[in-house]
Amino acid sequence: MLGPVILAASRSDRMRRLISAAPVTKQVVDRFIPGETVSDIVPIIKDLTGKGLQLTMDVVGEDITTPEQAAHARDAYLALIDRLKDLELGEKVEMSVKLSMFGQALEGGHELALANVRPVVEAAAAIGTTVTLDAEDHTTLDSMFAIHEELRKDHPQTGCVIQAYLFRTEADARRLAEAGSRVRLVKGAYKEPAEVAYQQKHEIDKAYVRILRTLMEGEGYPMIGSHDPRLISIAQELAHKAGRKLDEYEFQMLYGIRGDEHLRLAAEGHRMRVYTAYGTDWYGYFMRRLAEKPANLRFFLRSMVSK
């Protein structure tokens, strides 16, 4: 019940100001977003890759309002990639980007987002890694898939995210399950209307399994973005049935959520990639994590009261 209320708050400027200003917020935010700058995040990258984990890096931010902010977001990724060059980690550390942060919602936003993301994809390729386009709310997806297709002409390894809660996704998965594609399947984290998306958890989970089967039986590289233990074991079964080797799919989870499971899967020989967000504009990302689990909200509220 609380999830939709928190998701609505994640788009409210008033709530953003209130929550961002609360003195204890930062401590709770750190659990999910372990740094604000490239210098903060490099030791975390070294630590996690040293433990056999792979990473996908998200410079937090979305829904920007000016082309200058979009250029700033592009430059933040380029600065990170520049720093990664020295670490020589190649595809162990890839990037996740939200096109809204690259200007997608501004006037002429489709072209602007493409123009901003292209140099990031090129810079990533130059250090032997790649970029995955995150999926945002359903109104942005036609543009995201078109940008994905355009980027794949020169960089076929560019990945994208599909969301199991959307009715459209089964068809998207069939289209994307082709040789060379990289597709991350997630349940979906936005507040979507009943006209376009399943609303019940069991319906979303069932759709997730159907779509995962399509990806596993297809020719592409499936990336299983979930912390759900049931879905993780179903993914292992489906991969086995489809005759996939351990390096022909990967698991992905968010930093700060089920960290022991990250290490357990990696120790079993699975590719395990941790989605690691950092930066100063953390509000939208943080609120979606609160919405996913009521216990996170209770923890957050308790820490505010106990100060």
Backbone phi and psi for residue 68, each to the nearest 5 degrees, phi listed first: -65, -40
118 is written with which tokens? 């292209």
Binding of ligand FDA by 252 (CB under 6 A): yes
Nearer of residues 38 and 234 to ligand FDA, judged by Cβ: 234
Residue listed under structure tokens 């790649």: 130
Among 287, 285, 273, 280, CA closest to 95 = 273
By CB under 6 A, tell whether 161 contacts ligand FDA: yes
Among positions 59, 64, 101, 186, the unique one binding ligand FDA when judged by CB under 6 A: 186
Per-residue tokens: 294: 């009521």
* Residue 98 labeled ligand binder: yes
Q: Does 189 bind ligand FDA (CB under 6 A)?
A: yes
Is 250 a binding residue for ligand FDA by CB under 6 A? The answer is: no
Map tokens 């984990």 to a residue.
53
Tally of CA atoms within 13 A in the half-sphere of 95 that contains its CB: 31
58 in Cβ contact with 285 (< 8 Å): yes
Q: Is 17 a catalytic residue?
A: no
B/e letters for 222-256, b = 16+ CB within 10 Å, e = fewer, are: bbbbbbeeebbebbbebbeeeebeeeebbbbbbbb
Q: Is 31 in the site for ligand FDA (CB under 6 A)?
A: no
Q: Tell me if 90 sits within 8 A of 127, measured CB to CB.
A: yes
Scanning 64-72, 114-122, 210-218, 248-256 for contacts with ligand FDA by CB under 6 A, the matching segment is 248-256
Structure tokens at 183: 């597709």
Is 175 labeled as ligand-binding? no
| Smaller CB separation from ligand FDA, 76 or 99 | 99
Asked if residue 234 binds ligand FDA (CB under 6 A), the reply is no
Q: Is 184 a catalytic site residue?
A: yes
Q: Which of 134, 137, 205, 281 is catalytic?
A: 134
Applying CB under 6 A, does 283 fall inside the site for ligand FDA? no
Instruction: Give the shortest CB-29-to-ligand FDA separation in angstroms.
Output: 13
Task: State the amino acid at position 303 in one-letter form.
Answer: S
Residue 169 is a binding residue for ligand FDA (CB under 6 A)? no
Q: Note whether 279 binds ligand FDA by CB under 6 A.
A: no
The catalytic residue among 74, 118, 184, 271 is 184
289 is in an annotated binding site: yes
Binding residues for substrate: 98, 288-289
Q: Which residues are catalytic?
A: 134, 184
